[in-house]
Copies of this chain bind each other. A is one copy, B any other.
Amino acid sequence: MIISEVCKKYEITADTLRYYEKIGLLRDVPRSQNGQRDYDDLSCAIVEFVKCMRSAGLSIESLTEYMNLFYEGDSTIAKRKEVLIKQRDLLEARLKDEMKALERLNYKIDNYETFNEKKRGN
């Protein structure tokens, strides 16, 4: 799969894909004779995973940490799980904050209040 196809499929720019390789988040993308990237199934699976996690706000740093362990081989499975658990916990905490803000936005929208009115759990 050529880069433009991967871009379309996962809605990600070519610049970003090349950037991910430059920083080592994505490695070993196969090349055709003329030097062009030719993404295989594993590369695509990683791109898709990274896309999903990035769109949930996981940092490049945490994903690189995870992928570094992955590229090291099976001996790192326990450590990888730890990374995932840590990121899951961070994500859950963020979800909590967001849900609080969402409720508050909905309250304000339904029941418009400025900061001047008396509080009823504003």
List chain A positions with a Cβ less than 8 A from chain B. 42, 45-46, 49, 52-53, 55-58, 70, 77, 80-81, 84-85, 87-88, 91-92, 94-95, 97-102, 104-106, 108-109, 112, 114-116, 122
Contact = CB atoms under 8 A, between A and B. Distances in A.
A51 to B, nearest CB: 10
B88 A109 contact: yes
27 contacts: A45-B122, A46-B115, A52-B97, A52-B104, A53-B105, A55-B97, A55-B101, A56-B98, A56-B101, A56-B102, A57-B57, A57-B94, A77-B114, A81-B109, A81-B112, A84-B105, A87-B105, A88-B102, A88-B105, A88-B106, A88-B109, A91-B98, A91-B105, A92-B102, A94-B98, A95-B98, A95-B102
A67 to B, nearest CB: 10
Contacts of A105: 53, 84, 87-88, 91
Contacts of A56: 97-98, 100-102
A55 to B, nearest CB: 4
A108 B116 CA distance: 48
Interface SS, A side: helix
